[in-house]
């Protein structure tokens, strides 16, 4: 399968090139040239299949031309070491819980798959070590570090701003050891990002070392997110006791709390592959650039504002380019996706109300998704929202809202018992370059 750039100014790439490069040379995002439909028999029997079986069939459609089936299925099975249960919350609304992976957030799926695919490509060529550089303000670093943990031939350097990430985020990437090094930068997130960008542009370093990124726009992080949309549908259909392949097309609404729009775009890919869904809703926080686009037809990026749902604080969603590549124009986008946006008071009110009435604890991101369904579902429709993180990841915020303590699940508590190890670094590129030249190989 060939991958084209959304800016159409770069040559087509193979899967391997798209994964290793991440961003196309013209700064566009890679898109597969075709989206394959899955056969009616798949949708007829999906409720009888396991998550891993479903994901292997979806992976075959995306990657089957480029990776031998047995290898691909091993990568998929290794990636999906956890379930994504569909849990009823209130009448007609279910939560697709994507927080049962190592770092308790949905980014685990994409990060784990990308790590394994990159490991496959580099191992196959008998190549020298690949060094993944990632700058993080918190959550991306933990998903990438845990996703790549123990993958042979790859070393990950996580750059994070000293004192500016939460304790629990910091422990998720500083306690791992092995092939993960945490670099604690005396500066801001922007400084971390500048160090990483400078390293990618530095000719000396790139001659000496094999450097790559694990950015969320990478096709190997983005496409596997489609897996759990199919798994959600399988569970929903199983519960309804339905067998018709088309069941859902006239009633199922999927709502995705969105920031960079990678997660929802993977859902739209699933829909293009024939997943029987009626419509999608993108739920935003106060960073409502997409909702404004739906209303006005103008895409006006603006600086992000800080909210309780901070992983969605994005002022220029990078995957908007993929949504446009998929649908082409404003009217078509509006036919497929609607929008909603909520401020911090509404997020808090939703968390409190759902906890009091249904004893289900939402995280601030999932709260936007739930509320959009609660307000916009029409008679006869059923809704699924993606619960993108465990509420305990936002322990202090959620405790203040419900006025009760929130326990850390064992997986998160285990990180807190680890031993923090980091390399102190100034925000000066010369120092970082010296460090990489001597430490990395
Ligand atoms: C990253 C993230 C989002 C936003 O996902 P996008 O793919 O960027 O739209 C939502 N919720 C949580 C918890 C996240 O970490």
pLDDT of residue 65: 97
**Mean pLDDT of the region 92-112:** 96
Alpha-carbon distances, residue 110 vs 263, 278, 374 (angstroms): 10, 25, 28
pLDDT of residue 304: 87
CA–CA dist 405, 383 (Å, integer):
29
CATH architecture of the domain 108-220+416-439 equals: 3-Layer(aba) Sandwich (3.40)
Work out whether the CA dihedral 275, 223, 194, 185 comes out positive or negative.
positive
Ligand 1 site, residue 263, Cβ cutoff 6 A: yes
Query: Length of the chain in residues, anyone?
Result: 441
pLDDT exceeds cutoff 90 at 140: no
pLDDT of residue 151: 92
As a whole number, the mean pLDDT across the chain is 95
The half-sphere exposure of 386 on its side-chain side, counting CA atoms within 13 A, is: 31
**What residue spans define the domains of the chain?**
84-106+221-410, 108-220+416-439
CA–CA dist 137, 158 (Å, integer):
10
CA–CA dist 74, 185 (Å, integer):
37
Between 12 and 213, residue with greater pLDDT: 12
**Mean pLDDT of the region 61-71:** 97
Q: Which ligand 1 atom is at minimum distance from the Cα of 257?
A: 10
CA 414 to centroid of ligand 1, rounded, Å: 23
**Mean pLDDT of the region 121-138:** 84
The half-sphere exposure of 348 on its side-chain side, counting CA atoms within 13 A, is: 12
Rounded to two decimals, the pTM is: 0.94
Count helices and strands in the chain by DSSP H and E runs? 20, 13
Of 259, 370, 391, best ligand 1 pocket probe by most atoms within 8 Å of the beta carbon: 259
With respect to CATH, is domain 84-106+221-410 assigned 3.40.50.1100? yes
* Helix, strand or coil, per DSSP, at residue 378: coil
349-373 residue pLDDT tens: 999 999 999 999 999 999 999 999 9
189-199 residue pLDDT tens: 889 989 998 99
Of 102, 263, 317, 318, best ligand 1 pocket probe by most atoms within 8 Å of the beta carbon: 263
Q: Is 48 exposed, middle or buried (0-12, 13-18, 19+ CB in 10 A)?
A: exposed
């Amino acid at each position: 399968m060939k991958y084209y750039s959304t800016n159409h100014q770069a040559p087509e790439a193979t899967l391997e090139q798209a994964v290793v490069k991440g961003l196309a040379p013209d700064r566009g995002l890679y898109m597969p040239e075709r989206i394959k439909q899955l056969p009616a028999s798949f949708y007829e029997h999906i409720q009888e299949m396991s998550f891993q079986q479903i994901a292997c069939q979806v992976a075959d459609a995306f990657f089957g031309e480029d990776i031998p089936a047995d290898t691909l299925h091993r990568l998929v099975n290794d990636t999906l070491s956890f379930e994504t249960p569909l849990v009823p919350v209130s009448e007609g609304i279910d939560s697709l819980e994507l927080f049962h992976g190592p770092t308790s957030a949905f980014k685990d799926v994409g990060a784990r798959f990308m790590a394994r695919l990159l490991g496959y490509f580099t191992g196959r060529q008998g190549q020298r070590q690949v060094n993944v550089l990632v700058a993080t303000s918190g959550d991306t670093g933990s998903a990438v570090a845990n996703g790549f943990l123990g993958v042979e031939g790859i070393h990950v350097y996580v750059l994070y701003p000293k004192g500016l990430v939460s304790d629990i985020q910091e422990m998720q990437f500083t306690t791992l050891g092995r092939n993960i090094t945490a670099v604690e930068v005396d500066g801001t997130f922007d400084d971390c990002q500048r160090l990483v960008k400078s390293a990618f542009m530095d000719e000396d370093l790139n001659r000496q070392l094999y450097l790559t990124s694990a950015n969320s726009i990478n096709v190997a992080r983005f496409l596997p997110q489609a897996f759990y949309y199919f798994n959600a549908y399988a569970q929903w259909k199983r519960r309804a006791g339905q067998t018709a392949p088309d069941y859902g097309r006239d009633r199922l609404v999927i709502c995705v709390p969105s920031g960079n729009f990678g997660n929802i775009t993977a859902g739209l890919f699933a829909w293009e592959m024939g997943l029987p869904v009626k419509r999608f809703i993108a739920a935003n926080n106060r960073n409502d650039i997409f909702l404004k686009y739906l209303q006005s037809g103008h895409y006006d990026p603006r600086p992000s504002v800080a909210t309780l749902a901070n992983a969605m604080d994005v002022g220029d969603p990078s995957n908007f380019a993929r949504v446009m590549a998929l649908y082409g124009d404003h009217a078509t986008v509006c036919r497929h996706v609607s929008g909603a946006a909520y401020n911090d008071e509404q997020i808090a009110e939703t968390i409190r109300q759902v906890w009091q009435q249904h004893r289900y604890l939402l995280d601030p991101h999932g709260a936007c998704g739930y509320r959009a369904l609660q307000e916009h579902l029409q008679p006869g429709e059923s809704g699924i929202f993606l619960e993108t993180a465990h509420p305990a990841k936002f322990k202090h915020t959620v405790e203040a809202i419900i006025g009760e303590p929130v326990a850390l699940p064992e997986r998160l508590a285990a990180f807190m018992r680890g031993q923090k190890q980091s390399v102190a670094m100034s925000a000066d590129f010369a120092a970082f370059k010296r460090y990489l030249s001597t430490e990395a190989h």
